[in-house]
Amino acid sequence: MNRQEEPQEIDQKQYNLNLAMAAIAGQVGLVTLIVIVVALVGGLALDKYLNTKPMFTIILMLASVPVTVVLMFRIVRAATSRIKPSVKQKSQSPTEESNRE
């Protein structure tokens, strides 16, 4: 019975990891979309207000690239630090236990 439970446990852990990775990808995609839309709308608004047709739109769109990369890095780093690998503890041999003491 123990052998049947192990694959289910491994499958469940893999499923949870896949779900976490999908959530991270979704967060990164949403933040990227928001940054690009804000840069586009802000650039168009500034160009309309200052009557400088494509200048601010192009500048803000180019500036959004490094902002997006930095935000993406921070999101992924924060999310992966919360994911803890599951390490099964092996039973130590008697020699390892005596060396430890």
Give tens-digit pLDDT for 37-61: 999 999 999 999 999 989 999 999 9
Distance CA 14, CA 6 (A): 12
Give tens-digit pLDDT for 12-29: 888 988 998 999 999 999
Report whether pLDDT(82) > 90.
no
In Å, how far are 27, 40, 46, 47, 96 from 50, measured between CA atoms? 34, 15, 6, 5, 74
Whether this prediction's pTM lies above 0.75 is answered by no
Q: Where are the domains of the chain?
A: 28-82
